[in-house]
Amino acid sequence: MLQYLSQDLNQVLARRNVVKLILSRPLVSEGEEKAKVIKEYIENVSVLEEGIKRDFSGKSPFFNGETPGYLDLVFGSSACSYRAIEEITGAKLIIPEIHPLFFAWVTAMKTHPVVKETIPFHEGLVNRVLQYKQQRALELSNTKA
């Protein structure tokens, strides 16, 4: 089942712009708006942390048990790229001391053999997002002119 979902995820990633899959408000916001959005992002991760603590045993690395399930793949498709988002925004978004369960889950996802094969390379992802931001800024400046 996991291999089938992995192949399906690869097809989705091949058809779509990877940037659009992980793009979130912290990446496109600037100034005061960016600080507000980053604060909200961290608060949302804290809500996820509480949900994991309340609804899942925490005894296994994945929501479904010892192997990733559908929920892991849905969350993991964007959560596993958190380092790229942190690098681009210059903000720490997942704090292991505050979000230990979520951080442990992301780490387990990123190191799972099937997931390792499917997530985009860090440097390539950062470059694509930065290109997108640059293109978006150019488009915005052209519409103002």
Average pLDDT of 27-43? Answer: 79
Q: Select, from the ranges 75-84, 95-104, 130-139, the one with the highest average predicted confidence (pLDDT).
A: 95-104
Domain boundaries, given as residue ranges, for the chain: 2-144
| Residue, of 138 and 97, whose pLDDT is higher | 97
Q: Is CATH 3.40.50.720 the classification given to domain 2-144?
A: no
Contacts of 64 (CB under 8 A, 6+ apart): 70, 71, 72
Average pLDDT of 25-37? Answer: 74
| Residue, of 15 and 115, whose pLDDT is higher | 115
Average pLDDT of 91-116? Answer: 90
The pLDDT assigned to 5 comes to 45
Quick: pLDDT tens for 56-96.
866 778 887 888 888 888 888 778 888 988 898 888 988 99
Stated pTM of the model: 0.70
Cβ-contact 91, 26 below 8 angstroms: yes
32, two tokens: 């005061």
Cα first-last separation, the chain:
52
The pLDDT assigned to 97 comes to 94
State how far the Cα of 21 lies from the Cα of 67, in Å rounded to an integer: 23
